[in-house]
Amino acid sequence: MVCGRDVMASATTDRSGTYTMNMGPATSSLLAPLLANQCKVVVVTLLAACNASLASVTGTLTAPVQLLGIDSGSGSGSGGLGGLAA
């Protein structure tokens, strides 16, 4: 995950393309760009590895990151980010 010019987290997919990304503690350097919609997931691989018909295509796959919610920790929840979607 890239926020602005900073790599905030990285992950590797499993055989089905699923991944889990641990971003560490929710610091202001992470939350500020997330709340300002400045983060995106960037796939750094040859596009042909995703789909053979993309062998002649150049570029990078990117998707914006959407903050799904924040739990303040004031209720019965554990607090923290509710989740991220890309």
Considering only CA atoms, give the Rg of the chain.
Answer: 15
Question: In angstroms, what CA-CA distances link 73 with 21, 33, 65, 79, 82?
Answer: 22, 21, 23, 4, 11
Q: In this structure, what token pair is assigned to residue 28?
A: 């202001």
State the pTM of this model.
0.61
Rounded Cα–Cα distance for residues 60 and 47 (Å): 8
pLDDT digits (tens, 9 = 90+) for 44-71: 777 777 778 878 887 778 888 877 665 5
Q: Where along the chain do its domains lie? A: 2-85
Question: In angstroms, what CA-CA distances link 31 with 11, 35, 69?
Answer: 19, 6, 12
State residue 18's pLDDT score.
Answer: 81
